[in-house]
A = this chain, B = another copy of it.
Amino acid sequence: MTKSKTSCLAFSHHDHKRCQNKLLSAARDLCESRNLRLTERRKQVLQILLQSHQPIGAYDILAQLNQGQARIAPPIVYRALEFLLEEGLAHRIECKNAFIGCVHPGHQGATQFLICKDCDKVAELENPVSALQEDARNVGFVIDHSVVELTGTCADCQQNVG
């Protein structure tokens, strides 16, 4: 039984530098094992996504890449994102048109996002769909891809407001 609590990384206080490094090296491993190239660009974009547990828009990623003298255009970012999404190294948060690094790359299966509207952090819970799938099956519907995004207030932010 996958226990949710252990997966709820974003809302847990943790050594984030270490978290980033772990996820980056997991991405490297995953690409190597699949014979895919984690190119410099892709790595750059992934690193930007992994800077925090808050989702970031494609144009904000672009702005970060262009902080130096570089003048890079949107398609480059979208293509790197496409790769990362396909390989399950990043997720798209539909209700924000934004992107976030995956915190358990390699685990297949559907993901449920908890989006705090106060701190903007997004937690990723695995395998939520069972009940939903059942409802769908009842009407003969076969699920291909699921978007589950729950917006609200995380435990920390509830305390901070009172």
Contact = CB atoms under 8 A, between A and B. Distances in A.
Interface of A: 4-5, 8, 11, 94-95, 112, 114, 116-117, 123, 125, 128-132, 135-136, 138-155, 158
Given A114-B136, A114-B141, A95 B4 contact: no
B150 A146 contact: yes
Per assembly, the copies of the chain total 2
A148 to B, nearest CB: 5
Given A114-B136, A123-B139, A131-B132, A151 B158 contact: no
Nearest to A143: B152
Contacts of A151: 143-147
21 contacts: A4-B139, A8-B139, A11-B141, A94-B149, A112-B132, A114-B139, A129-B150, A132-B148, A139-B155, A141-B150, A141-B154, A142-B152, A142-B153, A143-B152, A145-B150, A145-B151, A146-B149, A146-B150, A146-B151, A147-B147, A147-B150
B139 A128 contact: no
A150 B143 contact: yes
B131 A130 contact: yes
B136 A152 contact: yes
Contacts of A148: 132, 146-149
A138 to B, nearest CB: 5
